[in-house]
Amino acid sequence: MDAADWDERYRGSELVWRAEPNRFVEQELAGLEPPGRAVDIAAGEGRNAVWLAERGWEVDAVDFSTVALGKAARLAAERGVRMRTVQADLADWAPPAASYDLALIAYLQVPWPQLAEVLSRAATAVRTGGTLLLVGHDAANLEHGHGGPRDPGVLYTAE
C-alpha cells in the first residue's frame, strides 16, 4: 500500500486503532528513564507517540500518511501534549545520526529489504546507550497467532 491507500484507510473511521498505546510498547517502555528525544517511525495515528509525549519525551512522529498525522496531532492536542509530526516516506527518510534516545518501530510490516533499510537508519539515529524497540507480527501468527498480515513476506522472525 502507498500513502494514498493509507490516507483512504485512515479517512474511513475516527481511529483505525485505539487511542491507547500498543500494549507491547507500553510494557517495554513504561520504565525507560529519563525521557529524552524519541522518534516513532511509521507512527500512524500517533497513539504510541502521544503516550511517550505524556511521559515527558520530546517526540517526532514520522509517517507517510498526512491523514494519519493529522489525527496524531489532534490526539496530542486533546491530551495536552506536544509532539512534532513529520510527513515522509520511510524509503527516503534518513534521520540525523545519534539524534534520538529512543527509536520505536511498531508494526511496520514491509518486505525484508525495505525493513532492513529502515532498521539500519533507525539504529544510526539512536545515540550510544539509547534504545531501539521493534514490535511486529511474527511469522508464527499465520498458524498460532491472531491478527496481522497474511503475507509471510512481511512477517518477522527472530533471525
Query: Rounded to two decimals, what is the model's pTM?
Result: 0.88
The residue type of 62 is V
How high is the pLDDT of residue 86? 97
Give the model confidence (pLDDT) of 88-128 as tens digits: 999 999 999 999 999 999 989 889 899 999 999 999 999 99
Residues in the chain, overall count: 159
First-residue to last-residue Cα distance in the chain: 25
Alpha-carbon span 64 to 91, nearest angstrom: 10
List, in sequence order, the alpha helices (H) in 87-130. 112-125
